[in-house]
Structure 1
């Protein structure tokens, strides 16, 4: 994983990363405030070893001295040394408990022994270190073997008595806060990476491109706006208008190099991915470009097209397929000569059978001759088979994937259903694409979104006058889904 990917992950989960960082800093501060101050004092002893005058004797004496130093470092924390200290200072603890307050070490390649004690009282810390050093000195004299002349071969001398410290060694606020900050950063990044690994939701264009070889037809950002409001010409609204125009352009290339059919199904893996929003807006931008478009609501289970476009949905596709009405009577001309809509009509008990019937095939052959584009809004792929049945009779399907909604296994399963039904996946559309995230078009449009205030006002007023003159939509009134 590259550095840029880590940065994108942290950017995606920046809230939890900052929360983790602050939590670690707060814990470090709390530990610092609740920790009792402790003081450390050290006393030093020098061990001398009797040796001969020759080089061999000196070498043997040095080796012997090092072994003795290591031995007496271990002896310093035993009852032989500590029990006299407990008796002298009248301490209410055992030698084992006292040993936990001591640290006895010897610098490498020396015959020095450092006795360090820790206590909440600085004077007590110094007294304890000096008393242990004195007791160790006596233990060395007692345990050291005698030479040929009766003199002790090892002697200990106190060379640096302990002094009462003026500053506590713990807590150390600066060090604790720095450690909390570093730990918080590591944990913050770690939890972000872990969440990214465990998160199987499709979020970016890159995610879609890694899941399918089908072309990416568009990436649509999320805009909260009333469905009856014309799209603004600045900011994110303007970017979305450009995104739909890009989608319109890419749809124009679908089918080149093979059989070119005007019909296609727009569907999704699961519900609430914005397929209806996408197909309605696509129909409108295609009509704006001068194409004749028929939008058919083929979601005979939960139809939404008519409600979104504020049309009478009492009759429609189900009546045409069941022979209760003619196509000419059921089609509603939203923009005469450009955009027509065939609502779903009455919800039937057998949607799949109707969509796969000969009547549907006859209807499809008829409308393909009459319109430049025939767009079907179909149900999601995973809950029901309607979309696969319908898409098999058209040029293919366009899948809409909502960022942060559909999971990768769900998307792959939906693509698998299309493949098993021998349906061509014409392309995919990422809905609610991150405005400035990896693989989105937010950055592409951003440089064009700043327009002068006077131009902005003019742009908002001109479409209204155009509609009065031509009875057509100069700028697409795009649907939005919050």
Structure 2
């Protein structure tokens, strides 16, 4: 039940859209359909019998038996033909028969004759004419008194209630049809939503990432507009949900890197738009907050963002180092965050993969390792180019960012496989855009969302 509710929350728009289309279709169909009016007359069947109680009882039973036969005659061809001739209708007897219905209430001698027509007045006229014709027709069937045998109880038919033109059409029933369409549309929409959700392999919760069993989820970063726009968490202004998430990431990284001493960490994702750069920068800020010296290397040479977000715009950087003979420290720029430096991507390069795979790149990262406590490398997405597996060889391990609603579980598996083939240890995942942690993260007002 909880799973179905979750599907509805994620795909409510599918249910709403299908219901809306069904409702609009129902309204259009109702407006285009020809209205049908139904007029009814009522006949009373009685018997002419003796005055004794037994005669009256027998006559009543006989009348009820005759009523069943009369309902058949009322919809027969003979009566329809006589009615067509009486009114001079421009239709055949069979056409009229298809619009006539006769019903008898159980245990009574009453017959209701209903006629359907596009005109309410013509429906009433035909119902009355047909009833009058049947009175005559029934009399003819019984015959004159001299022809009636002694054992037959004669019957008489009278029009107990004439038909009047109906004020409203019997069909279409707009409100009923609309309600049915909306309900059915809702069921169909929910089924479609469930099918779409069933085949949608995008990550929706932290559990989805953990269910892949590829590595630990080191932290869940809340859905935060500031982070999505490239902001840096201010760890000095109280504890926000995002700040606590990156502190947790910092702590958990220290646990998983105890054995291999991961001082150089690459951060990547499967495709673009998963927030790897934001995670890299804010993890670096969190490490700097703890008193460590940290440098962020922008190795996403095709779409560099780190320098811009850390205020190092228009400066030389990594590519310039790779094509020069200078020390890599000459290209490192301090930021406004104490203890945090940045090595921007630098000038545009036509051959980023070759540059990242060069011995000079490896030597440069090694030099940074000697000068800083931590080196974080922001790489390109794994499935778009081979750059991450090339520069990732300089790192002690890699963190893969998976974003809610963006990351595909199959793509995550493919990314991990490529990193594994390049012999790059997977430290774990960061689940980005977590709705369950977008509000208060801990206790008190200082833990409210930013």
TM (normalized to structure 1)? 0.70
Partner of 1:386: 387
**SS of alignment partner, residue 225 of structure 2:** coil
Deviations 1:209-239 (A, max 9, x none): 444533222233131587678759999x933
**Cα drift, residue 266 of structure 1:** 0.8
Is 1:445 equivalent to 2:441 in the alignment? yes
**Cα drift, residue 355 of structure 1:** 2.9
The question of whether the paired residues in 1 share the 8 Å contact of 2:115 and 2:126 is answered with yes
- In 2, the alpha carbon distance for the partners of 1:386 and 1:143 equals 100
Alignment of 1:287-306 (within 5 A): 287-306=288-307
The question of whether the paired residues in 2 share the 8 Å contact of 1:402 and 1:431 is answered with yes
Alignment of 1:137-148 (within 5 A): none
Alignment of 1:77-96 (within 5 A): 77-96=75-94
Deviations 1:324-380 (A, max 9, x none): 221332323336972222223344444333333444444444444543322110011
Partner of 1:252: 254
The question of whether the paired residues in 2 share the 8 Å contact of 1:291 and 1:338 is answered with yes
The structure-2 alpha-carbon separation of the partners of 1:385 and 1:74, relative to structure 1 and needing over 3 Å to count, comes to farther
The question of whether the paired residues in 1 share the 8 Å contact of 2:233 and 2:242 is answered with no
Deviations 1:383-438 (A, max 9, x none): 2111122324423222223333344443443333224334333222233444xxxx
For structure 1, which segment, 318-327 or 149-158, has the greater mean C-alpha deviation from structure 2 after superposition?
149-158
Alignment of 1:102-121 (within 5 A): 102-105=100-103, 114-119=112-117
For structure 2, the 5+ residue unaligned runs are 48-57, 143-147
Partner of 2:10: 12
Deviations 1:151-205 (A, max 9, x none): 7799785685454366535365654554455345445545544553464443443
Alignment of 1:12-411 (within 5 A): 12-14=10-12, 17-18=15-16, 21=19, 36=35, 38-43=37-42, 69=68, 76-105=74-103, 114-119=112-117, 124-133=122-131, 157=157, 161-164=161-164, 168=168, 170=170, 175-176=176-177, 178-179=179-180, 181-183=182-184, 185-186=186-187, 189-190=190-191, 192-197=193-198, 199-211=200-212, 213-216=214-217, 217-224=219-226, 231=234, 238-256=240-258, 258-311=259-312, 314-322=315-323, 324-334=325-335, 338-411=339-412
- In 2, the alpha carbon distance for the partners of 1:47 and 1:417 equals 94
- In 1, the alpha carbon distance for the partners of 2:412 and 2:45 equals 76
Partner of 2:55: none
TM (normalized to structure 2)? 0.74
For structure 1, which segment, 176-185 or 260-269, has the greater mean C-alpha deviation from structure 2 after superposition?
176-185
**SS of alignment partner, residue 325 of structure 1:** coil
- In 2, the alpha carbon distance for the partners of 1:157 and 1:447 equals 88
- In 2, the alpha carbon distance for the partners of 1:166 and 1:210 equals 65
The question of whether the paired residues in 2 share the 8 Å contact of 1:239 and 1:449 is answered with no
**SS of alignment partner, residue 445 of structure 1:** coil
For structure 1, which segment, 5-14 or 148-157, has the greater mean C-alpha deviation from structure 2 after superposition?
148-157
The structure-2 alpha-carbon separation of the partners of 1:114 and 1:39, relative to structure 1 and needing over 3 Å to count, comes to closer
**RMSD over equivalenced CA pairs, Å:** 4.7
**Cα drift, residue 302 of structure 1:** 2.8
The question of whether the paired residues in 1 share the 8 Å contact of 2:232 and 2:281 is answered with no
Partner of 1:55: none
Deviations 1:84-105 (A, max 9, x none): 1111122222223323422345
**SS of alignment partner, residue 441 of structure 2:** helix
For structure 1, which segment, 159-168 or 80-89, has the greater mean C-alpha deviation from structure 2 after superposition?
159-168
The structure-2 alpha-carbon separation of the partners of 1:337 and 1:157, relative to structure 1 and needing over 3 Å to count, comes to closer
- In 2, the alpha carbon distance for the partners of 1:414 and 1:20 equals 36
The structure-2 alpha-carbon separation of the partners of 1:213 and 1:126, relative to structure 1 and needing over 3 Å to count, comes to same
**SS of alignment partner, residue 384 of structure 1:** coil
Residue-pair matches, total: 431
The question of whether the paired residues in 2 share the 8 Å contact of 1:268 and 1:401 is answered with yes
**SS of alignment partner, residue 391 of structure 2:** helix
